[in-house]
Amino acid sequence: MCGIVGLFLKKDELRPQLGDLLTDMLITMTDRGPDSAGIAIYGDETDGMVKITVQSDTPAEAFADLDAAVCAAIDAPVTIKVVDTHAVLTLPESAVKAAIAALEGKGLRIMGSGASMEIYKETGLPKDVAARFGLRDMGGSHGIGHTRMATESAVTTMGAHPFSTADDQCLVHNGSLSNHNQMRRKLAKKGVFTRSENDTEVGAAYISSRIADGATLGEALEGTIEDLDGFFTFVTGTKNGFGVVRDPIACKPAVMAETEDYVAFASEYRAFADLPGIEAARVWEPEPATVYFWER
């Protein structure tokens, strides 16, 4: 049992409130997942630049002069923003692969990369994770979050959601995939590798692989219904929006709400309680084996 939340803002005036609204939604799902929590925020971007989010258990040591070290390794300008155990490095898009190689060589955990996406996740109660990263103060166009009750792998930072396997793409999941080891091997043969033992990362990698092969987000999500076995509710984030799909049995809870201002997703309706205008929203349960997505 885990908790999922997502919020897609239709109006730019609400962007400063994104982190605050998502934090309340996330905390409400604590009893569905007290082991760890995480959130992906799609915020401001700069033309030609990419953000790489990394994590370290010893941030004071690991992040000291990290921007200078990466700058020297890729021969390009680098800026750094340190947020507790995470750091966001901004650098030219052309230098991303070299930068990731340099960061992995220093033993840092890569949370994700993209023009607008930043990922923050850690073990602990959702309210504590949110406070550590100052999630309430973060703005953006949309975001997804997750509270985890571990079943498929250990309670670690790398086992927490969201999982990102391509630029500006990430996934949160409630459920369990029964064929994730088989799918992991299939993806590896295509050159698509995962960093953790978590089944959800395999789902993320599957969707990213389909999109890389030319599928649309909707087509990639439809593919999960046929190719991934088990019980799942997926919410995936992309640079332009987010998508939702449930397996054909749909035993994992899910609810959605839409107003003129936003589209919201949660594992339970109570996560919507503090959203503005929720009393006038159209509220429904996503159908089994049906894809929903909203994009700018």
Number of residues written out for the chain:
296
Contact (Cβ atoms closer than 8 angstroms) between residue 189 and residue 156:
no
Token duo for residue 234:
């997926």
Q: What is the residue whose two structure tokens read 């029964």?
A: 178
Q: Is 251 a catalytic residue?
A: no
Phi-psi region of 288 (alpha: psi -120 to 50; beta: other; left: phi over 0): beta
DSSP code of 271? G
The rounded distance, in Å, linking the Cα atoms of 272 and 142 is 15
Please give the full DSSP string across 177-234, using - where no structure is assigned: ETTHHHHHHHHHHTT---SSS-HHHHHHHHHHHHHHTT--HHHHHHHHHHH--EEEEE
Catalytic residue among 2, 71, 170, 251: 2
Cβ-Cβ contacts under 8 Å for 295 (sequence gap 6 or more): 217, 238, 240, 241
* Number of DSSP helices (H) and strands (E) in the chain, helices first: 8, 16
Cβ-Cβ contacts under 8 Å for 265 (sequence gap 6 or more): 4, 5, 6, 7, 144, 235, 242, 244, 254, 255, 256
- Active-site amino acid positions: 2
